[in-house]
Amino acid sequence: MSDWYDDEISVLEGYFDEHTMSVHLIENNPPRAKRGAPGDWTLVDLSDELLTHDDLDALANAIIESARNDMYSFIEIEEDGAAVVQLRNLRIAIAMPPFADKYEISAIRPIIKLTIEDYHLSPKLMQRLETRAEGILVSGSPGSGKSTFAAALAEFYSSQGNVVKTLEQPRDLQVSEDIVQYSPLDGSMEKAADILLLVRPDYVVYDELRKNSDFQAYSDLRSAGVGMVGVVHAGSAIDAIQRLTHGGRVELGQVPSTVDTVIHIEAGRVAKVSSLSLKVKLPTGMSSSQRDLARPVVEVRDFEEGILEYEMFTFGGERVVTPVRGERGFRRPSDQRGYQRGKPGEAVPVSVSYTKKKITLYVGKKYAKQRVEIYADNEYLFTTVIGRNGESSIRIRTKQGKSLIDAVEEGAVIIAKVI
Q: How far apart are the C-alpha atoms of 81 and 79, rounded to whole Å?
A: 6
The whole-number pLDDT of residue 358 equals 84
The whole-number pLDDT of residue 162 equals 95
Q: Which residue has the higher pLDDT, 352 or 288?
A: 352
In this predicted structure, which of 179-193, 197-211, 283-297 has the lowest mean pLDDT? 283-297
The model's pLDDT over 390-407, given as tens digits with 9 standing for 90+, comes to 889 888 888 888 888 888
The whole-number pLDDT of residue 334 equals 36
Residue 387 reports pLDDT greater than 50: yes
Residue 42 reports pLDDT greater than 80: yes
Contact 271, 265 (CB under 8 A): yes
The whole-number pLDDT of residue 325 equals 58
For residue 170, say if its preceding peptide bond is cis, omega within 30 degrees of 0: yes
With the C-alpha atoms ordered 227, 108, 236, 193, is the resulting torsion angle positive or negative?
A: negative
Please, which residues bridge with residue 106 across strands? 24, 93
Residue 282 reports pLDDT greater than 90: no
Contact 34, 20 (CB under 8 A): yes
Q: How far apart are the C-alpha atoms of 58 and 77, rounded to whole Å?
A: 19
Distance of CA 149 to the CA centre of its chain: 11
Q: How far apart are the C-alpha atoms of 209 and 138, rounded to whole Å?
A: 10
Task: Please calculate the CA angle 364-365-369 and round it to the nearest 5 degrees.
Answer: 110
Residue 250 reports pLDDT greater than 50: yes
Residue 340 reports pLDDT greater than 70: no
> In 3D, which of 169, 225, 217, 216 has the Cα closest to residue 195?
217
Share of the chain above pLDDT 90, in %: 48
In this predicted structure, which of 39-43, 120-124, 135-139, 240-244 has the lowest mean pLDDT? 39-43
The whole-number pLDDT of residue 128 equals 92
Question: How far lies 359's CA from each of 53, 64, 101, 397, 398, in Å?
Answer: 66, 61, 60, 10, 10
Residues 6+ apart with CB under 8 A from 404: 352, 359, 374, 376, 381, 382, 394, 414
Contact 26, 103 (CB under 8 A): yes
Amino acid at the residue 16: F
Determine the angle formed by the axes of helices 189-199 and 212-223, rounding to 10 degrees. Answer: 20
For residue 208, say if its preceding peptide bond is cis, omega within 30 degrees of 0: yes
Q: Span 313-322, mean pLDDT? A: 83
The whole-number pLDDT of residue 118 equals 94
Q: What string of DSSP letters covers 191-249?
A: HHHHHHHHH--SEEEEE---SHHHHHHHHHHHHTT-EEEEEEE-SSHHHHHHHHHGGGS
The model's pLDDT over 220-239, given as tens digits with 9 standing for 90+, comes to 999 999 999 999 999 889 99
Q: Kindly give the residue spans of alpha helices, DSSP state H, lying in 351-392.
A: none
> In 3D, which of 245, 377, 361 has the Cα closest to residue 310?
245
Please, which residues bridge with residue 24 across strands? 32, 106
Residue 7 reports pLDDT greater than 90: no
The model's pLDDT over 127-159, given as tens digits with 9 standing for 90+, comes to 999 987 889 999 998 888 899 999 999 999 999
The whole-number pLDDT of residue 289 equals 59
Q: How far apart are the C-alpha atoms of 360 and 350, rounded to whole Å?
A: 10
Q: How far apart are the C-alpha atoms of 367 and 348, rounded to whole Å?
A: 9
The whole-number pLDDT of residue 215 equals 93
Q: Span 55-82, mean pLDDT? A: 92
Backbone torsion region of residue 26, taken as left when φ is above 0, otherwise alpha when ψ lies between -120 and 50, otherwise beta? beta
Residue 4 pLDDT grade (very low, low, confident, very high; cuts 50, 70, 90) = low
Q: How far apart are the C-alpha atoms of 174 and 109, rounded to whole Å?
A: 10
Share of the chain above pLDDT 70, in %: 93
Q: Kindly give the residue spans of alpha helices, DSSP state H, lying in 15-145.
A: 53-69, 123-131
Beta strands in 282-409 (DSSP E): 295-302, 308-315, 318-327, 347-349, 351-354, 358-362, 371-376, 379-385, 391-395
Q: What are phi and psi of 235, to 5 degrees?
A: -80, -15
Each as own residue / partner, the long-range contacts of residues 399-408 (CB below 8 Å, 24 or more positions apart, any chain) are 401/358, 401/359, 403/376, 404/352, 404/359, 404/374, 404/376, 405/306, 405/354, 405/359, 407/376, 407/377, 407/379, 407/381, 408/306, 408/352, 408/376
The whole-number pLDDT of residue 341 equals 66
The whole-number pLDDT of residue 305 equals 85
Q: Which residue has the higher pLDDT, 92 or 36?
A: 92
Q: How far apart are the C-alpha atoms of 132 and 277, rounded to whole Å?
A: 12
Please, which residues bridge with residue 84 across strands? 77, 93
The whole-number pLDDT of residue 390 equals 84
The model's pLDDT over 79-133, given as tens digits with 9 standing for 90+, comes to 999 999 989 889 899 999 999 999 999 999 876 789 999 999 999 999 999 987 8
Task: Please calculate the CA angle 356-328-286 and round it to the nearest 5 degrees.
Answer: 150
On average, the pLDDT of the chain sits at: 87
Contact 250, 215 (CB under 8 A): yes
